[in-house]
Structure 1
């Protein structure tokens, strides 16, 4: 069984699948951008000093940036 953890602790180059989102803490735009359970993502960029995280959504071939504080509400598994 795979352990679920938050997206903000992934390193650049890590690939993971979204298992759950804390919908009460995230705006609807996340769902509209395609960040849904089952979506496979790759961390492409991490800005220094707790800056934004660049994610490559492998299913839709999109690149999105989210805040580290928002990434803490997205649970993933490898």
Structure 2
């Protein structure tokens, strides 16, 4: 059984599968960018001082950056 936790807790180089998004806290642009349940993401970069997190979306081969506060509303499983 895999544990679910928030995306902001991943380290650089970690891969995980999105299991759930808090739709009341996140704007629709996240769904349009491809951040959907079942999507595999890899953390490519974490800026210091709680800055943005750079993600590689493996399904669409896209690179996106999101705020740490937004990443805390995305639940993933390793």
TM-based fold match above 0.5 = yes
Which ranges in structure 2 are unaligned for 5 or more consecutive residues? none
Give the C-alpha shift of residue 24 in structure 1: 0.3
Paired with 2:2 and 2:9, the residues of 1 have a C-alpha distance of 16
Give the C-alpha shift of residue 70 in structure 1: 0.1
Q: Which residue of 2 aligns with 1:72?
A: 72
Paired with 1:48 and 1:71, the residues of 2 have a C-alpha distance of 15
Q: Give 3-state SS (helix, strand or coil) of 1:30's partner.
A: helix
Give the C-alpha shift of residue 45 in structure 1: 0.3
Q: Which residue of 2 aligns with 1:52?
A: 52
Give the C-alpha shift of residue 46 in structure 1: 0.2
Pairing 1:20–2:15 present: no
Paired with 2:30 and 2:70, the residues of 1 have a C-alpha distance of 10
Which ranges in structure 1 are unaligned for 5 or more consecutive residues? none
Paired with 1:48 and 1:3, the residues of 2 have a C-alpha distance of 26
